[in-house]
Amino acid sequence: MRDLLLVENLTQVFGGRNQTVAVDDVSFRIPAEPTIVNLVGESGSGKSTIARIILGLLRPTAGRVLYDGTDILTPDRGWNRIFRSEVQAVFQDPYSVYNPVYKAERVLKLVIRKFGLAKNKSEARVMMEEALRAVDLRPEEVLDRHPHQLSGGQRQRLMLARVYLMRPRLIIADEPVSMIDAGMRASFLNILLDFRDTHGISTLFITHDLSTAMYLGGEIIVLYQGRIMEQGETRGVMQAPQHPYAQLLISSIPTPDPRRRWEEDLSTGPLAEIELSAAMERDRCLFADRCPQVMEKCWGARPTLGPLEADAAVADSRQVACYLY
């Protein structure tokens, strides 16, 4: 079966004289069967840039993105319309998406009108109410309100209701829960899980928050300075990360359990934060200067992403870019 999304050797370089490599030769796939892929990394790791490229908002310096086998930059209006309806975005700030002048119902009405989803007004009403219930919102509580009268959680779920109307095959969600309170977060994530299980909608979930990625499960891709360091099944990676960077990242999650506190004091030593240098030598492992297990080899050439050796303790689809393996 064709992959739903295939990202091939994506590279994005910004700037003229002082060039910044935001995305550096990144490849991954989202299979045709409904799934959730988590793209995680610190700020500046290139995760949002990848999202923008996949959505067609940014033309990559090199590489390409295939959606259902076709390059997303294909200049064909008919195909474009399909792509625009089958791939939907949810962004970080649930407030800036709305026009404050209009009532909340407008975001739903617009979609129904633009894509001709309903034959008449009453059918549109039924569709809107169904979509709202699918995201745990009560129609009477949101439709007649203005955006500022809704909470962050409600606004973000309203975006999911809009997405639901379209019945897309893929949602690109860029930090969708970082501005919602903990109590509401679970409800938002549950909706994504329901979308996958009952409606066959896949999600590319972009986040810096590893605990939400862990909750969603599926696959995980760990980015560092524009490169993939490790990828594999989320549960396996979270339990036994192999790349030293992934190990550092996962061990630094503030576990909500006061009996399992961080042991090692990271505030000093080789892991202390590196300074930003204007032009960085990229022909090496980018994590070498912070890596506790750094070797001579790491400074020489870039490690490629590959499967773990056969005798490794983990036996999943794990890929790691590290000379240790």
Residues binding another protein (CB under 8 A)? 42-43, 151-154, 181-187, 189-190, 193, 208, 210-212, 214-217, 234-235, 238, 248-249, 252-259, 261-262, 265-268, 271-273, 275-276
Least Å distance between CB 157 and another protein?
A: 11
- What's the CA gap between 255 and 47, in Å, rounded? 24
Which DSSP string do the residues of 186-244 spell out, in sequence order? HHHHHHHHHHHHHH--EEEEEES-HHHHHHH-SEEEEEETTEEEEEEEHHHHHHS--SH
Question: From the CB of 69, what's the least distance to another protein, in Å?
Answer: 30
In the bound state with another protein, the residue whose beta carbon lies nearer, of 1 and 276, is: 276
Compute the least distance from the CB of residue 53 to another protein, in Å. 22
H/E stretch holding 50 reads helix 47-54
Candidates 313, 308, 283, 312; CA nearest to 298 is: 283
Minimum CB–partner distance for residue 148 and another protein (Å): 11
Nearer to another protein, 55 or 204 (CB): 204
| Edge-to-edge strands, sheet with 62-67 | 20-30, 5-14, 62-67, 70-71
Between residues 9 and 178, which has the closer beta carbon with respect to another protein? 178
Nearest residue (CB) to another protein, 265 versus 309: 265
Q: Closer to another protein at the Cβ: 223 or 320?
A: 223
User: Residue 51: which of 7, 2, 4 has the closest Cα?
Assistant: 7
In terms of CB distance, is 118 or 248 closer to another protein? 248
Q: How far is the CB of 197 from another protein (least distance, A)?
A: 11
* Chain centroid offset of residue 99 CA: 25
Backbone angles phi, psi at 215, to 5 degrees: -65, -40
**67 or 245: whose CB is closer to another protein?**
245
Q: How far is the CB of 114 from another protein (least distance, A)?
A: 30
* Beta-sheet pairing, 306-307 with 227-233: unpaired
Least Cβ distance, residue 314 to another protein (angstroms): 15
What's 276's DSSP letter? P
* Contact call for residues 90 and 159 (beta carbons, < 8 A): yes
Q: State the CB neighbour count (10 A cutoff) for residue 198.
A: 10
